[in-house]
Amino acid sequence: MKLAIVTAYPPSKVTLTEYGYHLVKHFRLQKDITEIILITDRTDGPKDLNFEGEGCKITVKECWNFNDYTNFFKINRAIASAKPDAVLYNLQFLKFGHKKIPAALGLMLPFISKLKGIPTISLLHNILEQVDLENAGITSNTFLKKIYNFAGNVLTRFVLASDIVAVTISKYQTILEDKYQSRNVALIPHGSFETPPEPNYKLPSGPKKVMAFGKFGTYKKVEIMIEAVELIRKRSNQDIEIVIAGTDSPNTPGYLDGIKKKYAHVEQLRFTGYVAEEDVPVIFNESAVVVFPYTSTTGSSGVLHQAGSYGKAVALPNLGDLSILVKEEGYKGEFFKPENAASLADAIEHILAHDSYRKYLSKANYRAACSLPMSTITGMYIEYFKTLQLAKSKGFTLDVSLVEKELMA
């Protein structure tokens, strides 16, 4: 199978970049894949394809840019010239831009691929019905929210025109099936990017690092974490370093610079900036607690799966998709009230004050991560693609529910 993957890709700063990297990393090892056509955004530096071991051929077609009005045509041309046997879109609603027209045109691409007869799967990381438009930095205007919701319904139907739409959370599958009467929605879990050897769960000497990882400024706000650690410092002798690993969200440029100025007086506060793929294990392995300072959620959390794969205890808000993931995939953590620094301080302190409890959470999260490695997830996509190809060759409609039952068995 010659597989085209449409995604942002490192060193890109566009959303879902890291997930795109791990899709390619693991698809290249699947025996059914003969070539990957990586249809990706343009970046200043070269694409990170420095994988270990043998793998299939990877052809890179850099052809689109965030917020470019011509992405729709450029990506279509790239797919047409590549002549793939199948195409996978790695999507969320603001994948191709935060401006309305580029974002909307990008979400019409799966419909075009389906019209061309190419077996098409769209991995949809979030659905508009579950996105808090204000917290996500899109709009706080009531009238505009109605406009966005209407447009979102239309664009969701374009994505649902794919042969299969994959979602990572069961709630999303239920909503799409009930609201849109769709029968081509498959539940394919997020998966864990890496499954390193089981750690010894010991912490390095020195201050205990409390870390947040991601793109900050919209629904990920680090003020609460900084203020929570300051509360802990006032009431105990814990030696804690605050680590903020990552960059601004594309919707909130300058956010972290503002945080640096606002909290310049806070000791042991470190901003790493962009974290290259090879440095991700170091950032996680050094951390005592991974914190999720979220005010809302917009899909399955890649950071939670990463924390699990490195055997880390987590402190997370009891809301939305994070709560669902904990229940459905077996992750464990110390919950806190969203946007409540005192509650987060208690959660962090409970973990740091009792090392046996920290290790208990760490081990549970490592087990959860190992149960769904990315190699298994990409294998599930392969089976869907093979079944799609067979269905098209025989002229019948694929029953997603039957394939799903077989894969989950």
For residue 40, what is the domain's CATH number?
Answer: 3.40.50.2000
Let me know whether 47 and 79 are in one domain.
yes
Residues 18-52 as b/e (b if ≥16 CB within 10 A, e otherwise) read: bbbbbbbbbbbbbeebebbbbbbbebeeebbbeee
- Give, for all 409 residues of the chain, the pLDDT tens digit: 999 999 999 999 888 898 999 999 999 999 999 999 999 999 999 999 988 778 999 999 999 999 999 999 999 999 999 999 999 999 988 889 888 899 899 999 999 999 999 999 999 988 876 565 555 555 566 666 677 677 778 888 999 999 999 998 888 899 999 999 998 999 998 888 877 788 899 999 999 999 999 989 988 999 999 999 999 999 988 899 999 999 998 778 999 999 999 999 999 999 999 998 889 999 999 999 999 998 876 656 778 888 998 999 999 998 767 777 777 778 899 999 988 999 999 999 999 999 999 999 999 999 988 888 888 999 999 999 999 888 877 777 777 876 766 666 5
Amino acid at 196: P
Let me know whether 89 and 154 are in one domain.
yes
Nearest to 124 by CA among 69, 81, 175, 73: 175
Specify the pLDDT at position 21: 94
Contact 124, 172 (CB under 8 A): yes
Q: Is residue 198 situated within a structural domain?
A: no
Upstream peptide bond of 293 is cis (omega within 30 degrees of 0)? no
Specify the pLDDT at position 128: 74
Q: Is residue 203 situated within a structural domain?
A: no
Specify the pLDDT at position 7: 97
In which domain, by residue range, is 345 found?
Answer: 208-370
What is the crossing angle of helices 400-408 and 374-394, to 10°? 150
Specify the pLDDT at position 310: 93
User: What SS3 class is residue 87?
Assistant: strand
Predicted model pTM: 0.74
How many domains does one find in the chain? 2
In Å, how far are 141, 333, 335, 365 from 317, measured between CA atoms? Answer: 26, 9, 5, 16
Dihedral-angle region of residue 213 (phi above 0 means left; psi in -120 to 50 means alpha; beta otherwise): beta
Let me know whether 161 and 177 are in one domain.
yes
Contact 315, 334 (CB under 8 A): yes
- How many other CB atoms are found less than 10 A from the CB of residue 207? 15
Q: Is residue 197 situated within a structural domain?
A: no
Residues 314-337 as b/e (b if ≥16 CB within 10 A, e otherwise) read: bbbbebbbbebbbebbebbbbbbe
Contact 72, 110 (CB under 8 A): no
